[in-house]
Amino acid sequence: MSDPKPVSLFHFIERAEKVHAPCMGEDRYNWQSNDPHVSRYAAQRCRRDCPMVLFCRQWAKDTGQRGGTWGGVTDNERGYERLRRMEERRQARIAKVAADLAAREAEDERIARFQGGRNTQT
Ligand code: SF4
């Protein structure tokens, strides 16, 4: 079971230092780069050499990290993921509006039928 509250950045760094995570090395600035080539290199190092890659990926997601490379995922890749989730939410809203509209039309039709029936009785 995962921890409901993500650890603080301080504790995250403490863990990373303890396991000698590649992003704690001398080339640590590569993990903050926006250059696609550099961040791809950093992501490869995460996936290949870091024992806390899955923990890190989840932590970055839970804490909403925006820039840099975390858990083997570059900022661009997280951006695509954000866009995909936004598109899913947009599609869900469209489906809800369509369902509400269909329900309202059905209700209007039911009322019209009821009123039509009442008018023929008088
Ligand atoms: S997965 Fe990458 S960013 Fe995360 S701790 Fe390991 S080396 Fe650092």
60 lines ligand 1 (CB under 6 A): no
10-25 confidence digits (pLDDT tens): 999 999 999 999 999 9
Specify the pLDDT at position 119: 67
Best residue for ligand 1 mutational test, from 13, 46, 58, 61 (most atoms within 8 Å of Cβ) = 46
Residue nearest to atom 8 of ligand 1 (CA): 23
Specify the pLDDT at position 121: 55
Instruction: Give the residue ranges of the chain where pLDDT is below 70.
Output: 1-3, 119-122
Specify the pLDDT at position 30: 96
DSSP single-letter state for residue 31: G
Enter the pTM of the model: 0.70
- Give the C-alpha separation, 28 to 33, whole Å: 10
Specify the pLDDT at position 81: 85
**CA proximity to 65, closest of 12, 19, 27:** 12
Specify the pLDDT at position 122: 52
- Give the C-alpha separation, 22 to 28, whole Å: 7
Residue identified by tokens 């863990």 is 15
- Give the C-alpha separation, 106 to 99, whole Å: 11
